[in-house]
């Protein structure tokens, strides 16, 4: 697919993409949570503490690593009621029952994050620089790298950070933005490729967060999160 075709697909999906990005901001500002129903994402009002909802989103991003958004959504639905009270074994069992792929290891990450970060909202709002916030998350939350930290921040309405998953990288390679697919992404590689992604978005005259959802949806067929 050449760039003209890419822009044509964007014009068709633009309104839905913008709507989804608006929902990320709404999620952070309003008492709502995501639910996975009939293979789609739905925001519903909930009577829950703001910090609980934000921590839940952090856990979602922990659970999408090496799996999928759908798998992460199923995992969150499975542990939502015990996320703040369940033991390690409780969360492992709940994830397994939900059909989550890595129940044991991800439960360990969730418990550790729960113990270390009692107020995720305060952590987010204490950093004015989004790149420094991402770096802090990637360095201090076990199981969260630059991609997952960028993913989490985008999902709570912090925009302007590239989420370099395999679909985005593959599309960048197809369009000659990067020479090859990296075997791994260390900090330097990630930041270098992020700059190329931003330049790619500028050349297309598409907002980088919109481009991310566009490319992701073109590989997966849906606009999730």
Active site residues: 147, 165
Reported as type and span, the H/E element at residue 43 is strand 40-45
Nearest Cα neighbor of 164 from 182, 179, 143 is 182
Instruction: State how far the alpha carbon of 163 is from the alpha carbons of 29, 60, 77, 97, in Å.
Output: 22, 15, 23, 29
Rounded CA separation 19/206 (Å): 15
> Is there a contact between 106 and 143 (Cβ–Cβ < 8 Å)?
yes
Rounded CA separation 135/146 (Å): 7
Coil, strand or helix at 159: coil
Q: Which residues of 24-53 are buried (b: 16+ CB within 10 A; e: fewer)?
A: beebbeeebbbebeeeebeeeebeeeebeb
Structure letter (DSSP) for residue 136: H
């Amino acid at each position: 697919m050449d760039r003209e075709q890419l822009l044509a697909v964007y014009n068709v999906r633009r309104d839905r993409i913008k709507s989804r990005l608006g929902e990320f901001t709404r999620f952070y500002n309003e008492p709502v949570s995501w639910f996975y129903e009939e293979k789609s994402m739905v925001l519903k009002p909930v009577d829950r503490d703001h910090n609980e909802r934000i921590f839940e989103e952090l856990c979602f991003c922990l659970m999408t690593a090496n799996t999928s958004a759908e798998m992460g959504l199923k995992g969150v639905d499975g542990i939502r009621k015990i996320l703040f009270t369940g033991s390690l074994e409780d969360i492992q069992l709940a994830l397994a029952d939900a059909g989550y792929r890595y129940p044991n290891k991800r439960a360990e990450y969730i418990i550790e994050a729960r113990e270390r970060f009692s107020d995720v909202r305060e952590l987010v709002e204490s950093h004015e620089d989004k790149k420094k916030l991402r770096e802090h998350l990637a360095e201090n939350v076990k199981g969260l790298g630059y991609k997952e930290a960028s993913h989490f921040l985008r999902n709570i309405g912090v925009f302007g950070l590239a989420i370099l998953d395999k679909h985005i990288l593959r599309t960048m390679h197809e369009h000659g933005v990067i020479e090859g697919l990296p075997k791994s992404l260390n900090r330097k590689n990630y930041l270098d490729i992020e700059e190329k992604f931003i330049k790619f978005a500028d050349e297309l005259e598409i907002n980088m967060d919109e481009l991310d959802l566009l490319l992701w949806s073109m590989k997966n067929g849906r606009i999730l999160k």
